[in-house]
A and B are shown apart, each in its own frame.
Chain A
Amino acid sequence: MFYPLAAVTVVSALAVITARNPVRSAMALVATLASLAVCFVALGAHLVAALQIIVYAGAVMVLFLFVIMLLNVQEDPHEGGRTGLKVAAAAIGAALAALFGTVLLRGGGSVEGAWPAGFGTTRALARVLFGDYLVAFELTSVLLLVAVVGAVVLARHDSDESDPGEVEEPQ
């Protein structure tokens, strides 16, 4: 079950970075996120899977697509790119690969045994989220609210300046 899923995830993730067309790239990212959600289902975390689809695949990516379509971003004509960036990307990629490889070789990621009763259910996850981690949860929500208000303020500021209704009186 895991290997076909992982294959789909990796292939679609590769498509995200190899696609020349931004819309195709975004759709590949949707596929990646969706197959990650299926991975969560296979791990028994149904709620996390549903939230992954609702928040990332359903909301965030739709906005991405919207912006790409509205700005009419064209296909990337550059064959190359900046050499410095390429070197940095290769270095970071190699470092991450080495990190994951080490963890895999040491067997640190393996978990044995069955799931405890009620694992991954809405009730169990809600208890942890709104019990043990309530403060962190509320702080995150405040952070998101600040970001939303900030975005609205920035957007309004722009429109105010170009608003012909508020022309200053000639001196």
Chain B
Amino acid sequence: MSVWLIGAIKSLVVVVMVLQLSAFLLWIERKGSALIQNRLGANRAHIFGVVPFNLGFLNTLVADPVKLFTKEDFVPAGSDRFLHALAPFMALFPAIITFAAIPFGDSIRVAGRTIDLQAVHLDVGLLYILAMVSMGVYGVVIAGWASNNRWALLGSIRGSAQMISYELAMGLALVCVVLTYGSVDLQAIVRDQGRTLYGVVPAWGVLYQPVAFVLIFIAGMAESKRVPFDIPEAESELISGYFTEYSGGKQAAFMLADFAEVVLVAGLVTTLFFGGWQVPWLTAQGWKFPGAELISLSPWTVTILQVAAFSVKVLFFCWLQILIRWTVPRFRYDQLMNLGWKRMMPIALANVVITAAVILVWGRAA
């Protein structure tokens, strides 16, 4: 019974964290874009004129959801009502459950029981993530098709073509990662990054696989369909792409799914290339700086530091994606396809061959 309870609590924590972070990112994006475009951004939340400082984030965290969920839920004539209602959930659901496999801390011992700080410890973690990411396409495809709108359909066709194309490069880059660590278990991959090179440099994955990092980051951004990869939405060409015909809560679900994917890409890159929850030189006993004595820390302090490190890294990559989004213009369709198929695919393939050859000759790093 307690096993189920622990699992339920962990799942709840992960889901709530992801949803909160997604909503919070919306505010960060509004303020961030304002910063980049030399505007003030969301700043109309001086409650009754009493609160002296700006509470702009209340807009996005409280006022926006209330507004969206009380709006009329419009369904266009001639649409497939059932699939139209199903599509937002098909977009949101895979994005959220993917986090189940991402570890956010080492295992801790509570009352004689070892608890993994990860919603589910999956032996096939990386493949599970790949599977769930590929399921995200259906939300886009069905949304466009069920709307009975040509722009929406065009958007969904573009979206699915783009996601399928970039999944390929992503899969090949993930092969390199698997070759490097010799495992598809994400917790094992993170533990492996706790070593140091020459006793000084933390052996994070980005040092072994810089090319795979860039490929997965780009492909991940393409999967989340945001600028510069927002061809499926392309508001200057397709109104709003595949979710043109959505309003109210359903539109909010699409927005949330987009941000959940941003968080997912950040979490994945952190886990695979930037040590996940590893803090440099922090061991289970305490901090062991190179050339210095061990600073003993209690297990709880270590765990809190690890979770904090993971959160900081994820936030950094979320911010990086927002920064890229507001800096780079949208790709043209042929540029997008050329980048995916003619640049990233061959590079990813070459990376696989080189990685395999290096491991064959010199053996694995660990």
Assess whether B124 is in contact with A122, with CB atoms less than 8 Å apart. Answer: yes
Is there a chain A Cβ closer than 8 Å to B268's Cβ? no
User: Residue-by-residue, is B121-160 near A (CB-CB < 8 Å gives 1, otherwise 0)?
Assistant: 0111001101110110110011001100000010011001
Chain B interface extent, by class: 20 to 34
Is there a chain A Cβ closer than 8 Å to B83's Cβ? yes
* Residues of chain B with a CB closer than 8 A to A66's CB: 141, 157, 160-161
* Residues of chain B with a CB closer than 8 A to A54's CB: 127, 130-131, 134
Is there a chain A Cβ closer than 8 Å to B176's Cβ? no
Is there a chain A Cβ closer than 8 Å to B23's Cβ? no
Within 8 A of A (CB), among B77-96: 80, 82-83, 86
Contact among A24, A30, A47, A122 for B138, CB-based, below 8 A: A30
Report if A27-B142 is in contact (Cβ < 8 Å); known contacts: A47-B124, A50-B124, A70-B157.
yes
* Residues of chain B with a CB closer than 8 A to A62's CB: 134, 137-138, 141, 160, 164
Q: Measured between alpha carbons, how far is A21 from B185 in the docked complex, in Å?
A: 40
Q: Measured between alpha carbons, how far is A151 from B19 in the docked complex, in Å?
A: 44
Contact among A50, A57, A120 for B128, CB-based, below 8 A: A50
Assess whether B135 is in contact with A23, with CB atoms less than 8 Å apart. Answer: no
Q: Report the minimum CB–CB distance from B136 to chain A (whole Å).
A: 9
User: Residue-by-residue, is A28-49 near B (CB-CB < 8 Å gives 1, otherwise 0)?
Assistant: 0010001000000000001101
Contact among A23, A34, A53 for B80, CB-based, below 8 A: A23
Assess whether A53 is in contact with B141, with CB atoms less than 8 Å apart. Answer: no
Is there a chain B Cβ closer than 8 Å to A129's Cβ? no
Tell me whether chain B's interface is mostly helix, strand or loop, or mixed. helix
Q: Measured between alpha carbons, how far is A23 from B142 in the docked complex, in Å?
A: 8
Identity of the chain B residue whose Cβ is nearest the Cβ of A121 in the assembled complex: B123
Q: Report the minimum CB–CB distance from B208 to chain A (whole Å).
A: 20
* Residues of chain A with a CB closer than 8 A to B184's CB: 122
Q: Measured between alpha carbons, how far is A144 from B59 in the docked complex, in Å?
A: 54
Q: Report the minimum CB–CB distance from B267 to chain A (whole Å).
A: 18
Q: Measured between alpha carbons, how far is A116 from B153 in the docked complex, in Å?
A: 49
Identity of the chain A residue whose Cβ is nearest the Cβ of B157 in the assembled complex: A69
Assess whether B124 is in contact with A65, with CB atoms less than 8 Å apart. Answer: no
* Residues of chain A with a CB closer than 8 A to B132's CB: 53
Assess whether A27 is in contact with B138, with CB atoms less than 8 Å apart. Answer: yes
Report if A24-B83 is in contact (Cβ < 8 Å); known contacts: A58-B134, A62-B164, A70-B157.
yes
Q: Measured between alpha carbons, how far is A47 from B178 in the docked complex, in Å?
A: 15
Assess whether B127 is in contact with A50, with CB atoms less than 8 Å apart. Answer: yes
Is there a chain B Cβ closer than 8 Å to A11's Cβ? no
* Residues of chain A with a CB closer than 8 A to B128's CB: 46, 50
Q: Measured between alpha carbons, how far is A125 from B120 in the docked complex, in Å?
A: 21
* Residues of chain B with a CB closer than 8 A to A46's CB: 122-124, 128
Assess whether B145 is in contact with A69, with CB atoms less than 8 Å apart. Answer: yes
Assess whether A53 is in contact with B145, with CB atoms less than 8 Å apart. Answer: no
Report if A65-B141 is in contact (Cβ < 8 Å); known contacts: A24-B83, A122-B124.
yes
* Residues of chain B with a CB closer than 8 A to A30's CB: 138
* Residues of chain B with a CB closer than 8 A to A65's CB: 138, 141, 145, 160
Assess whether B83 is in contact with A27, with CB atoms less than 8 Å apart. Answer: yes
Q: Measured between alpha carbons, how far is A66 from B311 in the docked complex, in Å?
A: 38
Q: Measured between alpha carbons, how far is A50 from B98 in the docked complex, in Å?
A: 12
Is there a chain B Cβ closer than 8 Å to A14's Cβ? no
Is there a chain B Cβ closer than 8 Å to A51's Cβ? yes
Identity of the chain B residue whose Cβ is nearest the Cβ of A61 in the assembled complex: B138
Q: Measured between alpha carbons, how far is A24 from B123 in the docked complex, in Å?
A: 33
Is there a chain B Cβ closer than 8 Å to A59's Cβ? yes
User: Residue-by-residue, is A13-31 near B (CB-CB < 8 Å gives 1, otherwise 0)?
Assistant: 0000000010110010010
Report if A59-B124 is in contact (Cβ < 8 Å); known contacts: A21-B80, A23-B83, A27-B142.
no
Q: Report the minimum CB–CB distance from B11 to chain A (whole Å).
A: 15
* Residues of chain A with a CB closer than 8 A to B156's CB: 69
Q: Measured between alpha carbons, how far is A51 from B171 in the docked complex, in Å?
A: 13
* Residues of chain A with a CB closer than 8 A to B161's CB: 66
User: Residue-by-residue, is B286-298 near A (CB-CB < 8 Å gives 1, otherwise 0)?
Assistant: 0000000000000
User: Residue-by-residue, is A48-85 near B (CB-CB < 8 Å gives 1, otherwise 0)?
Assistant: 01110110011100100110011000000000000000
22 pairs, CB–CB < 8 Å, chain A vs chain B? A21-B80, A24-B83, A27-B86, A47-B127, A50-B124, A50-B127, A50-B131, A51-B127, A53-B132, A53-B135, A54-B127, A57-B135, A58-B131, A58-B137, A62-B164, A65-B160, A66-B161, A69-B141, A70-B157, A120-B123, A122-B123, A122-B184
11 more A-B residue pairs beyond the given contacts A53-B135, A54-B130, with a C-beta to C-beta distance below 8 A: A23-B83, A23-B145, A27-B83, A30-B138, A47-B123, A47-B127, A50-B127, A51-B127, A58-B135, A59-B134, A69-B156
Nearest first, the 10 closest Cβ-Cβ pairs linking A and B are A58-B134, A53-B131, A50-B127, A54-B131, A50-B124, A46-B124, A121-B123, A50-B131, A47-B124, A62-B137
